[in-house]
Amino acid sequence: MIFPKALKIGDTVGLISASGATPPDKLKPAIESVEKLGLKVVVGETCQARHGYLAGTDQLRASDVNQMFNDSTIDGIFCIRGGYGATKILPLLDFDVIRANPKVFAGYSDVTALHIAINQKCGFVTYHTPMPSTEFIQQDMDEYTWDSFKQQVMATTCHDYLLKNPLGHSMTTLAAGQATGQLIGGNLTLVTASLGTPYEIDTKNKILFLEDIDETEHRVDRMLTQLKLAGKLDEAAGILLGAWTNCGPDNPKHPEHSLSLQTIFQEILVPLKKPILMDLTCGHCLPTMSLPLGSTISLNTENQQIRVIE
């Protein structure tokens, strides 16, 4: 896997949306939040486009991605937000152009579809990070989240370091063991949606990271079961579980009619006999950790350490 050149102060970043439309009142603050990092900003057409719930047509969103990678004056690409729609543009992407122009590519949530495709088809590391029109502009955007973001996108050649939760946020060992492999994954819904497509996630001998938001417990159960039946969990070398924001019972008044996430994880994941760490502070939450997807990591549940070693 190739590590893209780290961003530095004065570099130019392209803002795009491969997914949902950006609320107009959030565009200017999002631009300013990136400029405060010392970066120049080029705004893609998709940041100001709308096609229903999408940031423009599939053709426009794919074009923005292709053009930003093909433009040699653009040093990195930040997805301004998530939402829905990244999966729809995969057949329209020019992976030859993307492969020939590796650069920092950052975002999360619906952007998971692009991370999987780029990691597997283009062979370079991408970054699971908070985004400019969502986390960057929140008043509670914290120092840990900023530092983790900058460590990834502005120090891409640094290796042999630990991915640590913020102070006061402990990881939990769900299943004991050690494993080394390529870090992959992201949002559970998008990982599951890749199955049966030309962009299906390859988990063989890899460390699978999963998180999600606004899914009921039975839906999390269903998606993990689908990954299990597809062989994706059995093939993985280890599993990391992040934040499960607003993932609760269908009827909060009767939680006894549901299964807790802890029970779901115990029943589906623990029998795999793979090393599993949960409560990674990463996903739809603040503070949140940024991750180098595609890099090689070592996972040790005994001391609850995750080390980037490649």
Q: Give catalytic residues, as residue numbers.
A: 109, 211, 284
Q: How far is CA 14 from CA 5, 75, 159, 189, 272, in A?
A: 15, 8, 26, 26, 41
Helices 217-229, 261-268: crossing angle, 10 deg rounding: 10
What's the rounded Cα separation, in Å, for the pair 178 and 84? Answer: 35
Instruction: Using DSSP, state whether 286 is helix, strand or coil.
Output: coil
What's the rounded Cα separation, in Å, for the pair 256 and 269? Answer: 21
What's the rounded Cα separation, in Å, for the pair 152 and 4? Answer: 11
What are the DSSP E strand ranges found in 188-295? Answer: 207-213, 238-245, 276-278, 291-293
